[in-house]
Chain A
C-alpha cells in the first residue's frame, strides 16, 4: 500500500474515505461516538467536524515527523499529539460553541481514543507523505461526518420529529422515542450499514463473491 498510494490520484484518495473505506459503514471504527452522540443532526455535524480537525492535524504532524521519531516511542508520541489536538478541540468548543459542547459532553475528550485517528495515523500517515496524508485525513473525516449526519438525521426525524431542531410534524405527532435511545442507535446503524453495503456491492460485483 505504501508506495502505490502515493501514485493514486488525489480524488481517489479523498473519495475512498467517503465510500469504499467509509470509516463508519465499512471499517466500523469509532463506534462509541457514532452510537452515542447521533441523537440529532447538529450533534453529528459537531462530532464529525471535531474528529476531522483532530484527524487532519494528527496525521499531518505524524507524516511530517515520521523520520525523526524512533520506532520504539512511535505510539506514545502519536498519542500525545492526538491528545493535544483533542484538548484544543474541546477548549475551542467550550469557548465558542457552549451549547454544542454541553450536548456532546464527554464524547469530545473521548475522541482521543477514537480508533479512526490512531488507525489512519498508523496505517497511512506514517507510510505516506504529508500532502497525500492530508487528503486521506480529509476524506476519512468527511466520510465520518457524513455518516454521523445521516445517522443523526434518521434518528432526529423519527425520534424527535424534527430536523436540525426544527419540528417537522404537527402537534399530534408522537415521536418514536426508542430512536433517540441507545437501541435506536444500533437499529439505525445496522439498517444503514446493510443499505450502504448493498448499494456498494451492486456497483462492485467482486464484493458479492467475497
Chain B
C-alpha cells in the first residue's frame, strides 16, 4: 500500500519536473515560431518594404497596425468565423484610410481539403483585395461577380465555407473599423 503511493507519487513528480524542464527550454522557441507565423500572415495582407506590425490595445477583435518607415500602411483585423469543418481564423488587411480591403489571409482553417479548403488558394482569397471595406460583401454562385457591388464568387461545392467567410468579415470588420476610428485617431 505504502509502496504504491510512493511509486506513483514519485513517477508523477519526476514526470512533472521533466515536462517543466522541457517546456522551459522550448517555450521561447515555440513563441518565436508563433510570432514568425503571424508576421508572415500579416506581411501577406499588408506588404511593405520593411513593415513593422504592432497589436493595438483595443477591445473586441485583435487589430494590428502596420507601419513602414513611420508611415501607417494599413490595419489588419483578426476575424474568426464558424466554417463547415470548424473555426476559420483569418486576417483582413485594410488600407490606412479604412476604405479598401487590401487582402485576406487564412491563418487557421480545417475545411474539407479540395472543397472548402480552397479558400486558401489565390483564386478565392485574391477576390477580396480592392473591395469596399465599408460596405457588406455579397457572394454569388456560378455567375460572374460584380466588383462594383462588392461581390465575390463562392467556391462551387463549398457554399457553406464561402458564406461563413463572407459573413465573418461582414459581422466583424465594420465594428473593428469603427473601433480604429474612435480609439486610434
Contact = CB atoms under 8 A, between A and B. Distances in A.
A177 interface: yes
Interface in A79-103: 80-81, 83-84, 87-88, 91-92, 94-96, 98
A73 interface: yes
A76 interface: yes
Contacts of A87: 19, 22
A121 B152 CA distance: 55
Binding site of B, secondary structure by majority: helix, strand, loop or mixed?
helix
A180 interface: yes
A88 B33 contact: no
Interface stretch (A25-33, A64-72, A109-117): A64-72
Given A84-B19, A180-B114, A94 B7 contact: no
A73 B29 contact: no
B7 A80 contact: no
Interface stretch (B8-16, B70-78, B124-132, B160-168): B8-16
Contacts of B22: 87-88, 91-92
Contacts of B37: 98
A73 B4 contact: yes
B113 A39 contact: yes
Contacts of A98: 33, 37
B3 interface: yes
B63 to A, nearest CB: 24
Contacts of A68: 7
A98 B30 CA distance: 8
Nearest to B3: A70
A70 B11 CA distance: 12
Interface in B16-69: 18-19, 22-23, 26, 29-30, 33, 37
Q: Which of A69, A84, A159 has the most CB of B within 10 A?
A: A84
Contacts of B30: 91, 94-95
B112 interface: yes
Interface of B: 3-4, 7-8, 11-12, 15, 18-19, 22-23, 26, 29-30, 33, 37, 110, 112-115
Interface of A: 39, 68-70, 72-73, 76-77, 80-81, 83-84, 87-88, 91-92, 94-96, 98, 105, 159, 175, 177, 180-181
20 contacts: A68-B7, A69-B7, A73-B7, A73-B8, A77-B7, A77-B8, A80-B11, A81-B11, A88-B19, A88-B22, A91-B22, A91-B26, A92-B22, A94-B30, A94-B33, A95-B33, A98-B33, A159-B113, A177-B114, A177-B115
